[in-house]
Structures are given as structure tokens and as C-alpha cells.
């Protein structure tokens, strides 16, 4: 399957909204935030939302870079490693106060939440996602 730009964006939104939200609901109570549970959920879901919104913009950047590759796609490992610059950008936005209306997560809590969410979403995209969405592979990653 060669995912199209539209397919990658749809897949990212779907996986972060469904799998990312479920995982955030599960992991937030055990994160070392030092805040109330409500504030912790607010911060972790804010991180998830920022990752989703910025992720759509990242897909445009990745699409441009992929045009220089012969097969116009990333190797699977690159899809996993793209979490590094994305995570760093989101951390700097939160820790640097660029998003002042949202409480920041402490560094360890952010790292555990972001890395575990990224790994789970990546694993689902490269494994179980292919079972219930058979046409997802044929349609270049498009769900709609």
C-alpha cells in the first residue's frame, strides 16, 4: 500500500482520536503529574489535541520530503521515528508557554504519555488496523 496524503491525514486523525483517546483515559491516572485528576486529564487531552492538529501540518511537510524519495513513501521505521521531532515540538510549545491557557505537564509525565501513545498508535496502524479496515490498505490509507 502506498498511502496518499489524504489517507495519511485521515488515518492520523482516526487513530489519535480513537486509540489515542482510549489510551489517554487509561494512562492519565497513573502519570506523575502532581495535579488533580481533572487537571491531569485536561493537560493530557490538550497534548493529544495539539499532536493531532500539528500532526496534520507535519503530514504536509512529510509529504513534501517524500517527493524526493523514489517510492514516495517512508520506510516503516521512519514512521516511528517521526515521533521524535513531533514530540519535541509539542514539548517546547507546552513547556515554553506558547500555549499559556493550558496547564503544562511535568517532563516525565509528558514523556511517558507522548511516547507510549505514539508507540501504541504506530503499532495499531501497522498491525490490527489492517484487519477491520480491509479497504483502508487498498484505498491508500483513506477511511472515508
Confidence class for position 1, pLDDT limits 50, 70, 90: low
The confidence score (pLDDT) of residue 144 equals 74
Instruction: Give 88-119 pLDDT, tens digit per residue.
Output: 999 988 887 777 767 678 889 999 999 999 99
Whole-number mean pLDDT of the chain?
Answer: 88
pLDDT tens per residue across span 47-70 = 999 999 999 999 899 888 888 888
Domain boundaries, the chain: 5-32+43-138
Confidence tier at 133 by pLDDT (50, 70, 90): confident
Question: Are the CB atoms for 30 and 44 separated by under 8 Å?
Answer: no
Task: Evaluate if pTM is beyond 0.75.
Answer: yes
Amino acid at each position: 500500500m502506498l498511502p496518499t496524503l489524504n489517507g495519511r491525514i485521515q488515518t492520523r486523525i482516526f487513530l489519535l482520536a480513537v486509540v489515542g483517546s482510549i489510551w489517554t483515559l487509561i494512562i492519565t491516572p497513573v502519570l506523575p503529574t502532581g495535579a488533580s485528576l481533572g487537571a491531569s486529564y485536561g493537560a493530557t487531552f490538550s497534548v493529544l489535541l495539539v499532536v493531532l492538529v500539528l500532526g496534520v501540518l507535519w503530514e504536509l511537510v512529510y509529504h513534501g520530503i517524500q517527493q524526493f524519495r523514489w517510492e514516495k513513501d517512508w520506510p516503516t521505521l521512519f514512521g516511528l521515528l517521526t515521533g521524535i521531532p513531533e514530540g519535541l515540538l509539542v514539548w517546547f510549545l507546552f513547556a515554553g508557554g506558547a500555549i499559556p491557557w493550558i496547564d503544562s505537564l511535568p517532563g516525565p509525565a509528558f514523556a511517558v504519555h507522548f511516547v507510549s501513545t505514539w508507540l501504541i498508535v504506530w503499532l495499531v496502524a501497522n498491525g490490527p488496523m489492517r484487519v477491520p479496515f480491509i479497504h483502508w490498505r487498498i484505498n491508500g490509507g483513506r477511511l472515508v
